């Protein structure tokens, strides 16, 4: 990480303002910077937070081993810090990272969080990422009666025709300034665009990455 980037992280988080508990620790929630998936939670003390700010990689404090823990040092799954925030009473941190290898949990999963009823580790992601996953699943495991599956079966001819139609419907709804219809037509356009991405094996994360690059 460059000196400028480190300085900017340090500006974002006034280290002496953070409130540590009686063990000198503060919880840090680690989130994927592209789709907001909550990857893990771990503890930091003031020194590990300082190391995180200096290196741009996450450093925690291991309560069981009573030592610093540089995430990914042994596995290679380093977390590069993109953004760091603290909550309104300064006793919790929210850190957005780019996770190398997309594995945050020591069990080899993307996220450490399990769903209560199914015990699956499929992490909650944002609505578009979630829909994209469902669409890819229909592509890879075709299902009777699935509209998505019928689009894949029709290939580019069918998918691209629908994108054209939905785009025109967005335009018409906007021209008429009909707010609920604009939302509905935009949802149709997003959905069909996701089908095109899945058909061409372009990940929605690549689209998010592109948008992130353009942020000013």
Ligand X SMILES: N=c1c2ncn([C@@H]3O[C@H](COP(=O)(O)OP(=O)(O)OP(=O)(O)O)[C@@H](O)[C@H]3O)c2ncn1[C@@H]1O[C@H](COP(=O)(O)O)[C@@H](O)[C@H]1O
Chain contacts with ligand X (rule: CB under 6 A): 131, 134, 138, 146-149, 165, 187-188, 191
User: Which long-range CB contacts under 8 A does 184-189 form with residues at least 24 apart?
Assistant: 189/163
Q: Which is nearer to ligand X, 112 or 163 (CB)?
A: 163
Please state, in angstroms and rounded to a whole number, the distance separating the CA atoms of residues 113 and 111: 5
Report the residue number whose CB is nearest to ligand X.
Answer: 148
Are the C-beta atoms of residues 49 and 15 closer than 8 Å to each other? yes
Q: Which is nearer to ligand X, 143 or 201 (CB)?
A: 143
Q: Which is nearer to ligand X, 102 or 165 (CB)?
A: 165
How many CB atoms lie under 10 A from the CB of residue 93? 22
In angstroms, give the least distance from the CB of 85 to ligand X: 32
CA count, 13 A, side-chain hemisphere, 85: 9
Q: Which is nearer to ligand X, 1 or 207 (CB)?
A: 207
In angstroms, give the least distance from the CB of 176 to ligand X: 16
How many CB atoms lie under 10 A from the CB of residue 18? 17
In angstroms, give the least distance from the CB of 195 to ligand X: 8
Helix (H, G, I), strand (E, B), or coil: what is residue 82? strand
In angstroms, give the least distance from the CB of 170 to ligand X: 11
């Amino acid at each position: 990480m460059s000196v400028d980037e480190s300085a900017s992280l340090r500006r974002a988080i006034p280290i002496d303002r953070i409130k540590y508990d009686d063990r000198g620790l503060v919880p840090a929630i680690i989130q994927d910077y592209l789709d907001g998936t909550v990857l893990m939670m771990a503890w930091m003390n003031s020194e590990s937070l300082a190391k995180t700010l200096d290196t741009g990689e996450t450093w925690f404090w291991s309560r069981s081993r009573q030592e610093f823990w540089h995430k990914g040092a042994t596995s290679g799954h380093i977390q590069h810090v993109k953004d760091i925030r603290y909550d309104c009473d300064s006793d919790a941190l929210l850190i957005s990272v780019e996770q190398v290898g997309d594995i945050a949990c020591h069990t080899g999963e993307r996220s450490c969080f399990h769903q209560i009823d199914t015990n699956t580790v499929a992490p909650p992601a944002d609505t578009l990422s979630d829909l994209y996953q469902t669409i890819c699943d229909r592509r890879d495991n075709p299902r009777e009666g699935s509209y998505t599956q019928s689009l894949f079966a029709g290939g580019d001819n069918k998918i691209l025709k629908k994108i054209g139609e939905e785009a025109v419907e967005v335009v018409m709804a906007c021209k008429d300034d009909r707010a609920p219809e604009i939302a509905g037509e935009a949802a149709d356009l997003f959905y069909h665009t996701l089908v095109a991405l899945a058909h061409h094996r372009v990940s929605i994360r690549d689209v998010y990455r592109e948008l992130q690059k353009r942020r000013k």
